[in-house]
Amino acid sequence: MSSAQPVFGSLFRQLIELGVIKIDTEPLDARIERRLKEFWENTSCPRCGHQSIVTWEQLDRIWCRDCDFKPVYTYGTPFHEKHLSCGEVLLAFTLYADTLLSINQIAPFLDRAYRTVHTAIREVEAVVQRGFPVVWGLLDQTIDGPTQVDESGEVCSGYKGQEPPRNSRSRGGSTQTGRSRWRGRHGDQLTLVAASRDSLRVIRGQRGIDYEGDLEPVIQEAEDLSQPLGEVWTDGLQAYREMDRDHRTVVHKETYVSPDGVHINQVECLFSLVQPWLRKFRGLSKQGLEQAAHTFGIVRSLTLAGESTESIIDCLVIGSFRSSA
């Protein structure tokens, strides 16, 4: 598959333009509306703090009986005041998180401006990340086995949309076009660190390319999401050997699976999936790269756990209400 034409090619786009394939998000709109109203009925009013909110099936307003607050049901969520319907917002995020389509390709697919789609996706992404730990904890599943941890160096632009401009060859740029021409200094690079345990996938970013590492953030997140943590399996990197945890190592200079079965195949497979996905962005800021990689881990976890779109909706709704609490 060519990275220049990911997932959906030009022929697919022509079918859309001819009207052969139509986007109908009404079922998603209805499902999101129903879920948001259910949460409103069981939460406190953001204005007065009393749990006295009423919703109606046919109205887009909610009502607090205590303070007479009457916002629309999308108030306080990434669906609010967008030039997209609720279903289109969720569709845009799903295409972003679960395909090799870039936002530049998603925007015309929805017949919307790039900025409109970009803003919606970024807001949804932040909210989904807040809601995911709660949703994951409510799923009926058992996380078991060792936690495999590994790292993968990723170069990203530390100056995207900022100063100094990336076309300055004196600062490390090149004559090539595109966002990736700035390679950055060591301080402008991130090392992605990932943990895999059963169906759980956690990806975080650590600054720098010479990884000497603090593994604690990714291991702590894996532990929080899959109590108890269990054994940690890593390769032979010195930073891993110094961990103060129940820990076993496979030395890749010698073998990929140790004689007693220790390996990090799950997390290496994860990197083989996330790296082509990240390439569709053609360069990201440090913050953007870490946020995107973290999102990939969330969506991958839900997919491996056999969850449906409902779980993403719940992440989105719970994340919205957590941020306003």
> Model confidence over 96-118: pLDDT tens digits?
999 888 888 888 888 899 999 99
> What's the confidence (pLDDT) of residue 21?
73
Chain mean position to CA 13: 26
> What confidence tier does 121 reach under pLDDT thresholds 50, 70, 90?
very high
- The pLDDT assigned to 279 comes to 83
* CA distance linking residue 11 with residue 159, whole number of Å: 35
User: What pairing do the DSSP bridges indicate for beta strands 53-55 and 62-64?
Assistant: antiparallel
- 210-249: pLDDT as tens digits: 555 567 888 899 999 998 888 888 887 656 666 677 788 7
Contacts 24+ apart (CB under 8 A), 287-291: 288/156, 288/160, 289/154, 289/156, 289/190, 289/192, 289/205, 290/190, 290/192, 290/204, 290/205, 291/125, 291/126, 291/129
The CA distances from residue 268 to 193, 273, 281, 315, in Å, are 11, 9, 21, 27
Kindly state the tokens that stand for 46.
């953001």
Write out pLDDT tens, residues 57-81. 989 999 999 999 999 999 999 999 9
Residue with the larger pLDDT of the pair 170 and 50:
50
Q: What's residue 153's pLDDT? A: 64
pLDDT in tens, 151-188: 886 666 554 444 444 444 444 444 444 444 344 555 55
Q: Which residue in this structure is represented by tokens 């090392």?
A: 191
- Domain positions in the chain are 10-139+313-324, 147-306
Question: Greater confidence, 278 or 162?
Answer: 278
Choose among 304, 316, 310: nearest CA to 143.
304
